[in-house]
Amino acid sequence: MINYARSAVTDWFEGLGRGGILAWEAVCSIFRGRISSRDLLYQIYFIGIKSQSVVLITGAFTGMVMCAQTYFQFHKVRMDTATLAVVSVSMASELGPVLTGLMLAGRVGAAIAAELGTMKVTEQIDALRTLATHPVDYLVVPRIMGTVLAMPLLTAESIAIGIGSGYVVGVYLLDIDPTYLWHNMLRYTYPQHMASGFIKATCFGAMLSVVACYKGLHCGQGAEGVGRATTEAVVYSSITILISNFFLTMLLNQMLPT
């Protein structure tokens, strides 16, 4: 039992080190300008545009239920018109980037891990090396850059649709005065909240893409290895987003005081 635990801890640290090396190689490749614009545009399309539906649905219903639950509590103390302010601050600084990151971890992270894992199993990555093409330059960098660029845009859409849907619910279903509802939202929502959300979205995009690429490039042999790598990519990237969100919140609260 002790040997098993020791082996698990050792494997975890080895994986963390290999993931860090992969991230460093990707950063070096980006600064050297080794980015294929065609591959990057395709990844932005695949990650950004084709993920809009799931992100917009998630943001809309999150804003709606957040508005309803906030109203049910605030109505007891006659603070109905502050409902949308809570929705906007929550969506901008926390729920928008976190939920968008989790949705992309499930959709994009799984796809990246499955693609790279299949290429590794079928020895396509080894073929790239024989052609003097670095797999990080050709496969990893476009996916990381595409995710990092698409995440803030998707987060902005999620925040906007969340606030809009919350406004509709508050005005037309809960009968809150629209003028004071909107005024309080603008009054208590600061630019720091939006900046915090976009910084988190950029960090989450980098994290989930690095984890997915690492799991795909280091998957086991056969269909079982690809399936396990895909599952681990989704689970690990989601856990990484949730854990890092706490530390980013504490750090950004000191850097961007409201």
Provide the residue ranges of all domains of the chain, joining segments of one domain with +. 38-253
Q: Which two tokens stand for residue 16?
A: 């963390």
Give the integer Cα–Cα distance in Å for 154 and 30: 22
pTM: predicted TM-score of the whole model, two decimal places? 0.91
Q: CA torsion angle for 152, 154, 157, 163 (degrees, to 10)? A: -80
Name the pLDDT band for 8 (thresholds 50, 70, 90). Answer: low
The pLDDT of residue 198 = 95
Mean pLDDT over each residue of the chain, to the nearest integer: 89
Name the pLDDT band for 218 (thresholds 50, 70, 90). Answer: confident
Q: What is the DSSP letter of 137?
A: I
Q: How large is the average pLDDT for residues 78-101? A: 93
Angle between helices 96-104 and 222-255 (to 10 degrees): 170
The pLDDT of residue 13 = 74
Q: Would you say residue 88 has pLDDT above 90?
A: yes
The pLDDT of residue 7 = 67
End-to-end alpha carbon distance in the chain = 50
Give the integer Cα–Cα distance in Å for 162 and 182: 14
Name the pLDDT band for 12 (thresholds 50, 70, 90). Answer: confident
What is the distance, to the nearest Å, from the Cα of residue 150 to the centroid of all Cα atoms in its chain? 10
Lowest mean pLDDT among 5-19, 48-62, 121-135, 172-186: 5-19
Give the integer Cα–Cα distance in Å for 26 and 219: 19
Q: How large is the average pLDDT for residues 211-220? A: 89
Q: Would you say residue 10 has pLDDT above 80?
A: no
Name the pLDDT band for 27 (thresholds 50, 70, 90). Answer: confident
